[in-house]
Structure 1
């Protein structure tokens, strides 16, 4: 067996874990912190620094390959796993996962994942563990086969080697205006996220949000290079439903009005409402999608909350309950399931967006690039962090390096 030891190293995520329920309930900001007490189990304050745990696989040739475990920014919300606890995850990994890793053939990525991620007392391992360990296993297979991680995915899923880049989507965090300018100057494909996560940012009847959408479109025309025409993508964290109600017709009407204010742009609206359960989300999102399609609107619905696991993604895709599914990588678990999720979306002619969280790390972001390019996702998130420059550099450069290698492979094969 090619794995002879397992290392663990505590680390930092690139942003913070935030208590979404407390923020939705009206917690105010004082500088960078939120004032008030937490409402979600596990949080000792509304905003806490993101932690991570690196898992290193020591291979028989002496090489060490790594993957990073963490949870998403809004842990414990929308059916997600609870707040990441480094000590608990480290203990579980040492006791349960490490012995399994020493007993697999690391050159077979999917088989290794299946064996290592078997249930414990009929319960699935924490998704953060699956996510980080699968990254390390994918890197191990790539090292042993002397290939890129993308090539391993293509081989195991019987995909053609890709030649096309995947559009990159940047998120602004709270530094909206400055970061929008950065995105425009860097010619980002999809922008700006906007972090519309409170009543103050959404405004009465959504007017503050509408004005921001109009400003982003105008700013793009004002300072963007000739011919630059990004997709406008806004995450509203359920605030359309919270502000104007949960009637699908009213939500669709509002979204159409917003799209009409920015003619000529494709408008993505992520998480327009939270209907409280996966089944309710599917039923009501499907109605909103149908209304928008029947009107020929340029707006597209993106699902996030209540669509976490591979099975959730399958249900949303089959029901056409979104135009675009965010495959939120730490919530999906094994990175092999992220690849499966993209392929399920494609089978059902639903857009696949390989997302994730600002709380991730450089290693998890780079692994996500290989999955996105190998499966030819419709777009992928620039991550980690909220600073635009760093995330766009990490994801964009990794993609360009990967495509340079794959293009050389194609030339070698032709020769």
Structure 2
């Protein structure tokens, strides 16, 4: 078999793990930290540095291919896996996963994932393990077949080699104004995220948020290049529901008001409310989507919380409970399931956004680019980290390199034909 050893290497995530419940409950920010006691199990403080664990596959030609395991920023919230514990993950990987890796045909990506990532008893492996190991297996198949990761995906899922770039979405973090300017100057396709995760940032009746939305649109017109017209995308972390009320009609009314304040712009509103369970989220988001569609609004609802796994994504897509689904890669688990999630969204005529988290690494970000381009997702997140420059560079450059390689491959095939 092509894998002869498995390596583990501790690593850093590119941002921090945050206790969402404590922040939502009013924890005060002091500089970069949050003051107060954490409320989500596993957190020793409200904000802690993100960590990761690299898994390296030593192939028979002594090449080593890597994938990175980690969880998302708001671990333990919205039905997600608990906070990442590198010691526990390392032990499980060494004991259960590594022996399986030594016994698969690493040139066959989907089959390898299926065999290596099987449940233990009736317990699914931690999604972080699925995510990191599947990245490494995708790189192994690409190395062994002398292809790009995108070509492996296209070949195994019966997709045509892509020709088009996927729009890139950047997130601002708390440095909103400076980072919005950076995004505009760099012609980012979709912006700015905004990190509207507290009452202070949303404002009474949503007034602070609405003023920020109008400011972003104004800034794009004033300092953007001629013809620059980005999609405006704001993540409000459930604050429309918290502040305006949980009635879908009122939420839709508010979103329409926001959209009307920036005429001519497509507006994405991510996580307008958290209804407490996946089923309640589906039912109420479907109502909001229906109201907005009936009105012909330019606003689109993006689901994140309560829509984590491939099965969750299937339920939301089939119910038309979002215009756009964030496929949050570490929460989905195996990167093969991210591929399936994009294709499932497309089959149901729902937008597919390959997202993820600021806590990821450059390796996981690059693998996500290949998935996004291969499946021709509607957009993909610039990651890792909460800045603009590094994440946009990592994802944007990887996409451009990939498209150049695919174009060469296409020309070679045409010449042979």
TM-score, normalised on structure 1?
1.00
- In structure 1, what is the equivalent of residue 200 of structure 2? 200
Which residue does the alignment assign to 1:261? 261
The residue that corresponds to 1:81 in the other structure is: 81
Q: Which residue matches 1:377? A: 377
- 1:366 Cα shift? 0.0
Question: Which ranges of structure 2 fall in alignment gaps of 5 or more residues?
Answer: none
SS at 1:61's partner residue? coil
Match of 1:165 in 2: 165
Residues 301-350 of structure 1, C-alpha deviations (whole Å, 9 max, x = no match): 00000000000000000000000000000000000000000000000000
Report the Cα distance in structure 1 between the residues aligned to 2:410 and 2:92, rounded to whole angstroms. Answer: 43
Return the alpha-carbon distance in structure 1 between the equivalents of residues 8 and 115 of structure 2.
Answer: 20
Equivalent-residue separation in structure 2 for 1:61 and 1:186 (angstroms):
41
* Deviations, residues 232-255 of structure 1 (Å, cap 9, x unaligned): 000000000000111000000000
2:354 corresponding residue in structure 1? 354
Runs of at least 5 residues in structure 1 that lack an aligned partner in the other structure: none
Corresponding residue number in structure 2 for 1:154: 154
Matched residues in 2 for 1:244 and 1:403: separation? 44
Q: CA deviation at 1:413?
A: 1.1
Deviation at residue 408 of structure 1 after TM alignment: 0.5
In 1, Cα distance between the equivalents of 2:398 and 2:181?
23
**Aligned mates of 1:392, 1:35 — CA distance in 2:** 31
| Distance in 2 (alpha carbons) for counterparts of 1:205 and 1:77 | 25
Structure 1 residue 281: deviation in Å?
0.3
Matching of residue 136 in structure 1 with residue 145 in structure 2: no
Number of residue pairs matched?
415
2:384 match: secondary structure: coil
Q: Following TM superposition, by how much is the alpha carbon of 1:121 offset from its aligned partner in structure 2, in angstroms?
A: 2.0
The alignment status of 1:69 with 2:73, answered yes or no, reads no
- Tell me the equivalent position of 2:326: 326
Q: Distance in 1 between matches of 2:118 and 2:386?
A: 34
In angstroms, what is the RMSD of aligned CA positions?
0.3
CA deviation map 1:175-228 (0-9, x unaligned): 000000000000000000000000000000000000000000000000000100
SS in 2 for 1:12: strand
Equivalents in 2 of 1:118, 1:219: separation in Å? 50
User: Secondary structure of 2:349's match?
Assistant: coil
**CA offsets per residue over residues 355-404 of structure 1, 9 Å max, x none?**
00000000000000000000000000000001100000000000000000
> Residue 95 of structure 1 aligns with which residue?
95
2:235 match: 235
Q: Which residue of 2 aligns with 1:221?
A: 221
| Alpha-carbon distance between aligned partners in 2 of 1:278 and 1:399, rounded to the nearest angstrom | 33
Structure 2 partner of 1:107: 107
SS at match of 2:409: helix
- Post-superposition shift, 1:15? 0.1
Distance 2:386 2:73 in 1: 11
User: How far off its partner does 1:167 sit?
Assistant: 0.1
SS at 2:246 equivalent = coil
Alpha-carbon distance between aligned partners in 1 of 2:162 and 2:219, rounded to the nearest angstrom = 34
C-alpha distance in 1 between matches for 2:65 and 2:339 = 20
- Corresponding residue number in structure 1 for 2:183: 183
1:48 match: secondary structure: strand
Q: Secondary structure at the match of 1:81?
A: coil
1:411 maps to 411
Alignment of 1:310-325 (within 5 A): 310-325=310-325
Q: Secondary structure of the equivalent of 1:120?
A: coil
Q: Separation in 2 of the partners of 1:147 and 1:118? A: 26
Please give the alpha-carbon distance, in whole angstroms, between the structure 1 residues aligned to 2:411 and 2:146. 18
Match of 2:19 in 1: 19
Give the match's secondary structure for 2:174.
coil
Matched, 1:250 2:250: yes
- SS of 1:393's partner is helix
SS at match of 2:162: coil
Separation in 2 of the partners of 1:60 and 1:166? 35
Residue 341 of structure 2 corresponds to which residue in structure 1?
A: 341
Partner of 1:322, secondary structure, is coil
